[in-house]
């Protein structure tokens, strides 16, 4: 069955994006050409912050580190998650070995990722990485599903949650920047849907959910990319690869049986999207 997103969903997404600016995200995003002030509350003391070590040899392995939620972790997919697949594709394309470290944790939010990034082991891995891939934010928005099921969740309900998610992402990216420094590349993905999608969502959530969840996702993705750009990092779109540019493709063949996480084909698609966004 083709996936249909109604015109009302696009209008709702636009209203959410406009309201997000009012409730405070724009206040955190820096004007064009300026860098945002980092949130020092998410940083460890300087003595606990690893010093980034760069490699000088073009033949030495390139280190790819993935941080984020259950999408990064590969939940409900008995397969190699996209972090490992991306490193493999990168090495094959560039003729230079690439190692993969997957720090994804199911259930992680922007707040709990900030905590993880102050821990010694993850901090060392991120500090040593040549390239960090970040996928985070969907779990911040999870409580909105309950609001929708209890009678609806329009722009006034969505906007504060999207704004808070964006501020949390900014804290995470500030921490990554502090660990890795200017020589490190950071790529932040969006989502095809921050909730369930495809046939599972249609069957379990019923009428109206696809349209509503798409509007939340579009607003979240715009906030993710806007926040990412303020740090000079790269935002990698996953919406169009999964759903097509108009959002109407049914993503079921790319999702696991829960309708929420990528299957092997979905992880392979994410890896290819990351590769396409990464210069040689």
* Cβ atoms 145, 151 nearer than 8 A: no
All residue ranges of the chain with pLDDT < 50 are 1-2, 5-8, 22-23, 25-47, 54-56
Which of 18, 20, 30, 12 shows the shortest CA–CA distance to 162?
20
The pLDDT tens digits of the residues spanning 127-157 come to 999 999 999 999 999 999 999 999 889 999 9
**Does residue 273 lie in a domain region?**
yes
- Look at the block and give the residue holding tokens 């594709």: 89
- C-alpha 43/C-alpha 153 separation (Å) is 34
* Cβ atoms 212, 160 nearer than 8 A: no
The CATH code of the domain that includes 201 is 3.40.50.1110
**Does residue 50 lie in a domain region?**
no
DSSP structure string for 227-257: HHHHTT-EEE--HHHHH-TTS-S--GGGB-T
Number of domains composing the chain = 1
Classify residue 247 by burial, with Cβ atoms within 10 Å: 0-12, 13-18, 19+. buried
**Does residue 25 lie in a domain region?**
no
CA atoms within 13 A on the CB side of 94: 19
- Structure confidence at residue 14 (pLDDT): 59
**Does residue 4 lie in a domain region?**
no
**Does residue 5 lie in a domain region?**
no
- Domain enclosing residue 144, as ranges: 60-239+247-277
């Amino acid at each position: 069955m083709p996936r249909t997103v109604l015109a009302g969903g696009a209008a709702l997404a636009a209203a959410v994006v406009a309201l997000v600016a009012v409730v405070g995200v724009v206040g955190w995003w820096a004007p064009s050409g300026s860098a945002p002030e980092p949130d020092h509350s998410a940083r460890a003391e300087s003595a606990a912050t690893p010093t980034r070590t760069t490699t000088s040899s073009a033949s030495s392995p390139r280190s790819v580190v993935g941080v984020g939620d259950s999408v990064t972790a590969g939940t409900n997919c008995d397969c190699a998650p996209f972090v490992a697949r991306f490193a493999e594709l990168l090495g094959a394309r560039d003729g230079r070995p690439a190692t993969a470290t997957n720090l994804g944790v199911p259930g992680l939010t922007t707040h709990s990722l900030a905590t993880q990034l102050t821990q010694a082991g993850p901090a060392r891995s991120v500090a040593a990485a040549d390239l960090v891939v970040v996928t985070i934010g969907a779990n911040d928005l999870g409580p909105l599903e309950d609001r929708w099921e209890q009678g609806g969740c329009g722009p006034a309900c969505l906007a504060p949650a999207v704004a808070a998610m964006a501020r949390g992402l900014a804290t995470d990216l500030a921490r990554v920047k502090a660990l890795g420094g200017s020589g490190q590349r950071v790529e932040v993905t969006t989502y095809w849907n921050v909730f369930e999608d495809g046939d599972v969502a249609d069957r379990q959530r019923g009428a109206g959910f696809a349209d509503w969840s798409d509007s939340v996702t579009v607003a979240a993705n715009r906030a993710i990319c806007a926040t990412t750009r303020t740090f000079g990092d790269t935002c990698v779109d996953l919406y169009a690869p999964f759903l097509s540019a108009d959002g109407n493709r049914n993503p079921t063949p790319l999702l696991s049986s829960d309708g929420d996480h990528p299957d092997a084909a979905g992880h392979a698609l994410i890896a290819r999207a990351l590769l396409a966004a990464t210069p040689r």
